[in-house]
Structure 1
Amino acid sequence: MATITLSYIQAEALLKAFQQGQVKIQLSPDLGLSMVPVMLSAEGAFFPGGEQLSWEQIEKIQRSKVTCFAVEAAGIRPIQIFSEETNRMCSLLPTKRTPSMLIAGFTMHRIVDIDPMEDTHKKIATIAPMVGRVLDTATGLGYTAIEAARTAEQVVTIELDPGAQTIARQNPWSQSLFTNPKIQQLMGDSYELVPTFESDSFSRIVHDPPVFSLAGELYSRVFYQELYRVLKKGGRLFHYIGDLNSKSSGTVTRGALKRLQEAGFSRVVRHPEAFGVVAYK
């Protein structure tokens, strides 16, 4: 079977079941995607494929609320990596359902009162239907690319950080990113790659950059002009910014709205439910 991936949520379920005297429990080996029977004894938990965990290992997983773990023959391994390219730590962040990613301490999805996949659906809904060629300027865990590929002809997605892609490869929820033939992955800086694309070549663009403090150039008029150029006439761009009503994001929003219009977008509409704006060409 595929590598077992667990978080504190599964660890808590194992500990609770054992404390209640249970000898068998249905548990997800892939962060909620599927369920398998796991046997419990004084020695630990035993999975159908022969993998086993001691209670000491399970307690270690349970104590970590910000990292998921891979179960390997040598033991448990936190799914995290220090990226030499960006000098940032990347890790797979557990949530109640779909995992997110932490990069340099910043969460890559909304996780307060919302699931990362629900967050993705809200972004995509602002520019639905997803048709033709779609550009995703920041791959991350690939949720946007995966969801867009359900209806789009092709999705081109760009990832700056090899560390982030390493985390995505270990995330059970990201596997379609590497197997769906409609998804084309590019490694590099969107600021440098987008200018190499042909004009009028995308019907939809999802621009979901890291926070302004990590990637200010992706909020610049120069970059917005390139997004405008590669977008087809009648196309739509969703730009994730953050909570439009917060003081910090409000400042960024005002600047972004101004620069998007200066870049040529005829109409820019706020979408507070998706924490972003939609620009029309």
Structure 2
Amino acid sequence: MKHIVEYVFKPVKAYWFTKPLIDLLWRSRGVVEATFDLGLTWREIRVYDGYLVIDGYKIYLEEVTPSEPDRVVVYRRDTGKIYEVIRRSNGNYYKLKTTGIDKAPTVEINGIHMHRIVGVDPWSDSRIKARTAKVRKGDRVLDTCMGLGYTAIHSYLRGARIIYTVEIDPNIIWIAEHNPWSHGLSNNGITIIQGNIIDVIQYFEENYFDKIIHDPPRFSTRTGDLYGLDLYKEFYRVLKPGGILYHYTGEPRRHGSPSIVKGIGERLRLAGFHPVVYRVKAQGYIAYKSIY
């Protein structure tokens, strides 16, 4: 395998605040149980009139109140800086979007969220994807579009030995570094590559991966290459005989059209995969590389 440059993930050490948490704290006085990492853990802290004290830090509630109901505010423990987890870059607007006081957030780009949030939370959505791909102990996994890294983390939790996760957008990596649910990307065995999967895929040897999880952005003229035959052929090349590709498509009538989803299946077959089966619950294709 050619040399691949690993991105050094730098998780932010902070306390996280959302509108539901702030509402809880305003209603409370004295010792209260609350979460300051978006629901990952809960702890007892003391709340006073308009402020709280946590680990010796005095934090005023007005200063950490989000400007919009679905935004997330961080209080940096290393610098004391307070800001919302949003970013504007090259005409695009990125936001870490809360989905509940104890639920994993999603990332929103120009008003479009990157996970399913209706009827399922983003963390569970990613768990379904890793399970559908049948990731198991000892696997080598390629996660083609990292996002907040939930799929890579679930692959790790299912026992995958080597995981490569690829993200083209540095702004998304910045958001992930500011999301406590993404901090599992620091686990040994997970390698982050900042780049375009269309280019990165060429660095891997034939028959290298046991599983590939392909969860690209919604189909458009800008993202069309992520749904193309050339990339599918590369997936087939780097997948081991007997290996599995899971390709997320979304619901045909909500995130594209039946013809787009049908075309994905046809191109996967042209690339050599067989059988290619659409799974309704997982909203995507399972494609196998034959052992013969």
| TM-score with structure 2 setting the length | 0.87
| 2:78 paired with 1:70 | no
Q: Is the 8 A contact 1:242 1:249 kept in 2?
A: no
Q: Is the 8 A contact 2:51 2:58 kept in 1?
A: no
1:117 aligns with 2:123: yes
SS for the counterpart of 1:212 is coil
Residue aligned with 1:51, SS: strand
| Residue of structure 2 aligned with 1:215, choices 218, 223, 228 | 223
Q: Give the deviation of 1:271 after TM superposition.
A: 1.0
Which residue in the other structure is 1:156 paired with?
A: 164
Q: How much has 1:11 moved relative to structure 2?
A: 1.3
Residues 43 and 247 of structure 1: is their aligned pair in 2 closer, same or farther, counting only changes over 3 Å?
Answer: closer
Query: 2-side partners of 1:109 and 1:68: how far apart?
Result: 17
| Closer, same or farther: CA 75–38 of 1 in aligned 2, 3 Å | farther
CA contact (8 A) 1:158 1:186 kept: yes
Show the 5 A alignment for 1:170-181: 170-178=178-186, 180-181=187-188
SS in 2 for 1:266: coil
Residues 1:16 and 1:190: Cα distance change in structure 2 (over 3 Å): same
Query: What secondary structure does 2:276 align onto?
Result: strand
Deviating more after overlay: 238-247 vs 105-114: 238-247
Structure 2 residue identity aligned to 1:207: H
**2:65 corresponds to 1:92:** no
Q: Is the 8 A contact 2:232 2:268 kept in 1?
A: yes
2:171 maps to a residue whose letter is: G
The structural deviation recorded for 1:197 is 1.5
Equivalences, count? 271
Cα distance, 1:247 vs. partner? 7.3
Pair 1:10-2:10 in alignment: no
Q: Which residue of 1 aligns with 2:175?
A: 167
Structure 2: which 5+ residue stretches go unaligned? 1-11
Residue type matched to 1:138 in 2? C
**2:153/2:184 contact within 8 Å kept:** yes
Q: Is it true that 1:134 corresponds to 2:141 in the alignment? A: yes
Distance 1:142 1:247 in 2: 21
- Supply the distance in 1 between the matched residues of 2:113 and 2:126 (Cα, whole angstroms): 14
Q: Is residue 189 from structure 1 mapped to residue 182 from structure 2 by the alignment?
A: no
1:229 aligns with 237
In 1: Cα distance, 2:193 partner to 2:70 partner: 28
Other-structure match for 1:23: 30
Q: Match for residue 279 of structure 1?
A: 287
Q: Paired residue for 1:81?
A: 87
Aligned equivalent of 2:58, options 51, 56, 66: 51
TM normalised by structure 1 equals 0.90
Q: C-alpha separation between the residues in 1 aligned to 2:171 and 2:255?
A: 31
In 1, are the aligned partners of 2:218 and 2:255 still within 8 Å (CA)?
Answer: no
**1:195 Cα deviation from its structure 2 partner:** 2.1
Percent of paired sites with the same residue: 34
**Cα RMSD over matched residues?**
1.9
Q: Does 1:105 align with 2:111?
A: yes
Structure 2 CA distance for partners of 1:192 and 1:129, relative to 1, 3 Å: closer
CA distance in 1, matches of 2:133, 2:50: 52
Report which structure shows greater RCO (CA 8 Å, sep ≥6): 2
- CA gap of 1:228–1:203, structure 2 versus 1, over 3 A, is same
Paired residue secondary structure (2:148): coil
In the alignment, the residues of structure 2 paired with residue 127 and residue 275 of structure 1 have an alpha-carbon distance, to the nearest angstrom, of 12
- Structure 1: how far apart are the matches of 2:190 and 2:33? 34
Aligned to 2:9: none
Q: How far apart, in 1, do the equivalents of 2:128 and 2:185 lie?
A: 19
CA distance in 1, matches of 2:179, 2:83: 13
State the shift of 1:89 in Å.
2.1
Unaligned stretches of 5+ in structure 1?
none
* 1:81-132 CA-partner distances (Å, limit 9, x unpaired): 2245xx4222211112111111232211111111111101111111214342
Report the alpha carbon displacement of residue 41 of structure 1 after superposing the two structures with TM: 2.4
Q: 1:83, 1:162 within 8 Å by CA — same for their partners in 2?
A: no
Pick aligned residue for 1:264 from 250, 257, 272 = 272
Where 2:233 maps in the other structure, the secondary structure is helix
